Amino acid sequence: MIPIYNPATGDTVGQVPVGGRVAVNAAVITAEEAFPPWSAKTPRERGKFLAAGAALVRARAGELATNLTREQGKPHVEAVDEIRGFAHVLEYYAGLSSTVHGEAVSLGAVGDCLIYPRPLGVCAAIIPWNMPALLMAWKAAPSLLAGNTMVLKPSATAPLTCLALARALEEAGLPPGVLTLLTGTGEEAGEALVAHPGIRRVSFTGSTATGLRVQALAAGRPVRLTMELGGSDPMVVCADADIPRAVEGAVRGRFYNCGQTCTAVKRLYVEEAVAVQFTALLQERVAKIPVGNGLSPDVAMGPLHTAAGRDAVAALVNDAVADGARVLTGGEAMHGPEYDNGHFYAPTLITRVPPRSPLLTTEVFGPVLPIVPVPNLDAAIHAANQSPYALGASIWTKDLQSVRKFFQEIHAGVVWVNRHLTLPPEVPFGGTGMSGYGRENGLHALRDYMEEKTLILGW
């Protein structure tokens, strides 16, 4: 069994089986058996199961969120948001059920053509620990609505909420085998799942290094892949921005989920004309972020999910300081009775970071924000585009021409203006470059879980 720990206290909160090749085989067989009756239902019938599951999850949101905080570490208010987000995604796809239908094309004297959208079969999903409930919904809801069955592997360190959500869907009527959860490590369960010949599509979310490994494992068979990988999102604050609003955007953008979000603000470029004012306000605000156990009221930032994650962040900050960077606030692990058994690191702002520092060139998955003053928007875009990642990016300005330029020139899959992080289920989301390919959410994701079958009628 794999023990699951509370990142705030070190307590064991549960355990799950270590799935291997045998468990993968059993899960795929279950999903294959469930496929014919599930795919034979109409999209509207399938949508009703999603809606019923969403209703039950909403009714249990508080309890599910408490469990999510215990295993993942995020503040309870964020966990409630995420559980409701799970329900919202299911409701969105349930609402799309009436749009799943084919097309007719007249071929004139030749005849007519009917094009049917068909499910693919058994799909696999592999997700990380940072947003387990939301990412489970992003993958399961469009896949199931399309008529596929799915085997989903949650992370080895935060699988409990996913298991509870899967149980809730079954309680709400989802037929057994339509969504099977497979617990275990990436190296064993994950690899065996990707390599299984019964899998028609792999939707992967995780780090770029693991994504490339998964892609290599899937090579050699006709498997459709989606790669939602790491990010190093830039936020650009222009001189004409609403500065207090941009400060709040940076706080939420970087410190939400303790900085462990793929689209977190990982680098901040601010025009020199407002850099001093902006940085002073941000520093004041960040120094006051209440950090602690996510189950304590008023806590706005929890621990990092793992000790290794905290230590990696600490090492990056220490190395940058040794190279001349200056910590404005934070810059160290937190100590004291409330912190000593968890993986707490203080919310950190850092300036004068050398351009080649890994704080600016790699994905930093924790509560550390480098601030880089730049002379103008051109310089900001140039610096922001030096990263191999290209997931999200935001610009904070009132000027439409700046927005246009930024949107055209920045390397990213999603661009926000005067916002960061917002990702409603209606909106296609995904990256390019080392951030991967394929899109989650919206009609785009639904289509990606189907393939067309064509009937040509010669009258």
- Chain position whose Cβ is nearest to ligand NAD: 186
Q: How far is the CB of 82 from ligand NAD (least distance, A)?
A: 12
C-beta of 110 vs 308, nearer to ligand NAD: 308
Type of residue at 31: A
C-beta of 208 vs 329, nearer to ligand NAD: 208
The question of whether 262 is a catalytic residue gets the answer yes
**Does an H or E element contain 125, and which?**
strand 122-126
C-beta of 129 vs 406, nearer to ligand NAD: 129
Q: How far is the CB of 115 from ligand NAD (least distance, A)?
A: 30
Angstrom distance (rounded) from CA 11 to CA 203: 32
Which candidate, 137, 349, 161, places its Cα nearest to that of 255? 349
Q: How far is the CB of 262 from ligand NAD (least distance, A)?
A: 3
C-beta of 163 vs 273, nearer to ligand NAD: 163
3-state secondary structure 73-89: CCCHHHHHHHHHHHHHH
Q: How far is the CB of 232 from ligand NAD (least distance, A)?
A: 9
| DSSP output for 367-433 | SEEEEEEESSHHHHHHHHTTSSEESEEEEE-S-HHHHHHHHHHS--SEEEES--S---TTS-B--EE
The question of whether 188 is a catalytic residue gets the answer no
Q: How far is the CB of 428 from ligand NAD (least distance, A)?
A: 12
Catalytic choice (191, 228, 271, 363): 228
Q: How far is the CB of 256 from ligand NAD (least distance, A)?
A: 13
HSE (side-chain half, CA atoms, 13 Å) at 286: 33
For residue 101, the tally of other CB atoms under 10 A from its CB is 11
Which candidate, 259, 256, 242, 271, places its Cα nearest to that of 383? 271
Q: Which residues bind ligand NAD (CB under 6 A)?
A: 126-131, 153, 155-156, 185-187, 190-191, 194, 205-207, 210, 213-214, 228-231, 262, 363, 365, 391, 431
C-beta of 206 vs 330, nearer to ligand NAD: 206
The question of whether 440 is a catalytic residue gets the answer yes
Contacts of 279 (CB under 8 A, 6+ apart): 270, 328, 349, 351, 371
**CB contact at 8 A, 394 and 420:** yes
Catalytic choice (71, 78, 123, 139): 139
**Does an H or E element contain 99, and which?**
none
The question of whether 238 is a catalytic residue gets the answer no
Q: How far is the CB of 13 from ligand NAD (least distance, A)?
A: 18
Q: Bridge partners of 457? A: 112
Q: Which residues are catalytic?
A: 139, 228, 262, 440
